[in-house]
Amino acid sequence: MEKPMIYFDNNATTPIHPEVREAMIEAMDVFGNPSSLHGFGRKARMYVEEAREMLANFIGASPDEVMFVGSGSEANNTVLSVLTGSCRECRFGCTTGRGLVTTTIEHPCILEASKCLKEKGVDVSYIEVDQYGKVDLEQLRDAVNESTALVSVMMANNEIGTIQDIRAIAQIVHEKGALFHSDAVQAVGKIPVKVRDLGVDFLTLSGHKIYGPKGIGALYVRKGSPFCPLIRGGHQERGRRAGTENTIGIVGLGKAIEMREKEMDAEETLLLGLKKRLREGIAQTIPDIRFVGHPTDSLPGTLNVSFDGAEGEAIILYLDLEGIAVSTGSACASGSLDPSHVILATGLPAECAHGSIRISLGRENTMADIEYMLEVLPRVIGRIRDMSTAYARRQ
Amino acid sequence: MAKEQWLYTDKVLEHFMHPKNILVDEDAYEEDGKGMTGNIKCGDQMVVVIKVDRDKGVITDCKWKTFGCASAIASTSALSEMVRGMTLEDAYHVSAKDINKELGGLPEHKIHCSVLGDKALRAAINDYYMRNGMEDKVKREEARIVCNCLNITDHEIEEAVLEGARTFYELQEMTKISTVCGECEDEATRLVELYKNKHFCEV
């Protein structure tokens, strides 16, 4: 029997949607520089602007508030870098303080960038989360003060799927007179995101988490927000991000968004059904586990579960041998020996963080995939626990 | 086109898929020596037990258990095969490098995981000596302080090298060694080279 290949790592990246693929192949021939005045350039410009409109419409922004960037990480770095890079012209933090407030569960690109800012003298503070990964609003209220220039809180967490109450957070931040950025890379295209309803000043999104291509992201910058470019030297993106536009990537992102508009609701129903079965199946067949993340305010396709006495990397590689792709919050496999900062932030002990896996579902998954997983996983966990020093089988 | 690479060699994969000599029933196993190392909080823990032919001083059986990653599983599985039939003296000197050689090379950042098995084995051998009134044979790996200002030992330097330090400066970043009087810089530099050779070269 041929080994199945089941992909449960959609929060890491997603397969390209067939329609996105087609649109990108077509766009490959649109080689003109969108900045050129001639016909070749104007045609490319049209493709770029169409995608921008599609995207702006999807998140409830106006097209001139959307800029294309090379990745979600670039968008996040761009927003944070204004805290040290800004000049009088950028109108950012020149007269007020330059403090940054963020959370302990952000993506590494925010955490690393904020660490760097701290070393450059920016006052940075980190808000903690509760056992479900929800930001403590009271702590936020206390942490944001007159010297805070920017607050950055991710909309949905990549490891545990917890969704924050962004509207409430934005309101608190604005009451204190600071600006608000949300990294919505895991949220846009999975749950409804409308920038004006939420009240964000900056918002990051990315193509490859929503069946689009890698190497393309977008940053929403609310009209009137101060802004400081990270990459200078060209008038592209209204002078906010120099570099010739990645037409093919932009077209791919635009198409991915168009498909999200059409398919998101139905997909949510599918994923919630699959996740429910998966969650129940794991709970029924495997003892001594805990689910990490919020039980309801969670991405429809994300399930994080920790198995007592089983080490995450071993789980992943045994599953890989059975043709199932999942990932671990624990970064052991990627070179660091530190357990997941997100899971530790929820208050679980380190040994649980070492034993957790993230199963992230996507549009191509079926109930048959879930049933196969439920057949394989108990066996894998049983096998690892049999050789574990940290698991005493309950008789 | 680059070939798709399994993170580990075929031999590692084989030991990972079919680990040898797992200690299934810890209570029923009548070991002659037992050693434990690591900590589940750090994400890796290892127990090694041995049976010994007293007359010959030879290990006749070696079993193990772990809370650890694929490398820890594979390397200890390999180790348990290697030391069977070995004298206690020889087994004591099996190093992470020997295991790594046997496995055909682990990814560099996983070497750390493979030291667990041989550390636990040495503890098991010492335990055997203790149980049998041969305290004089117990080898103690005494730590020697290198950085007198910050009380940093050679063991800590070795750990740092296993964790990825390859130069004095990387070691300093990890341990803050030699940041007070600075006198131990030469000694620390020499030790980094020594442990690099011990664990990472000629595999």
**Interface touch A339/B43, C-beta < 8 Å:** yes
Domains plus CATH for chain A? 6-14+263-386 (3.90.1150.10), 18-259 (3.40.640.10)
**Short-list A243, A197, A248, CA closest to A220:** A197
**Confidence category of residue A273, pLDDT binned at 50, 70, 90:** very high
The chain B residue lying nearest A387, using CA atoms, is: B65
The chain A residue lying nearest B12, using CA atoms, is: A317
Size of interface A-B (CB pairs under 8 A): 66
pLDDT of A393:
62
**Interface touch A311/B17, C-beta < 8 Å:** no
d(CA A191, CA A268): 8
Quick check: B18 contacting A, CB < 8 Å? no
**B155-191 as b/e: b if 16+ CB within 10 A:** ebbbbbbbbbbeebeebbebbebbeeeeebbeebeeb
- Supply the ipTM of this predicted assembly: 0.79
Measured in angstroms, the CA of B163 and the nearest CA of chain A are apart by 9
Give contacts of B69 with chain A, Cβ < 8 Å.
311-314, 332-333
pLDDT tens-digit map of A118-129: 888 889 999 999
To probe the interface with A, which of B40, B47, B113, B116 has the most A CB atoms within 10 Å? B40
pLDDT tens-digit map of B100-119: 888 887 777 677 777 788 88
**Interface touch A309/B65, C-beta < 8 Å:** no
Measured in angstroms, the CA of B41 and the nearest CA of chain A are apart by 5
Indicate whether B203 pLDDT > 50.
no
Q: How many CB atoms lie within 10 A of CB B142?
A: 8
The chain A residue lying nearest B71, using CA atoms, is: A314
pLDDT tens-digit map of A149-158: 899 999 999 9
Active site residues of B: 42, 113
Helix and strand numbers, DSSP H then E, in chain A:
13, 12
Quick check: B119 contacting A, CB < 8 Å? no
The chain B residue lying nearest A328, using CA atoms, is: B69
Percent of chain A with pLDDT over 70: 93
The pLDDT mean for chain B works out to 86
Q: How many CB atoms lie within 10 A of CB A123?
A: 16
Domains plus CATH for chain B? 10-137 (3.90.1010.10), 145-200 (1.10.10.1100)
d(CA A331, CA A323): 21
pLDDT of A4:
84
Rg (CA), chain A: 22
pLDDT of A334:
44
pLDDT of B156:
85
Percent of chain B with pLDDT over 70: 93
Give contacts of B22 with chain A, Cβ < 8 Å.
386-387
Measured in angstroms, the CA of B199 and the nearest CA of chain A are apart by 17
**A360-382 as b/e: b if 16+ CB within 10 A:** bbbbebeeebbebbbebbbebbe
**Short-list B35, B103, B31, B92, CA closest to B66:** B35
Q: Which residues contact A300 (CB under 8 A, 6 or more apart)?
A: A190, A191, A267, A268, A271, A272, A275, A361
pLDDT tens-digit map of A342-365: 999 999 988 888 899 999 999 999
Quick check: B20 contacting A, CB < 8 Å? no
Q: Name the amino acid, one letter, at A93.
A: G
Q: Name the amino acid, one letter, at A309.
A: G
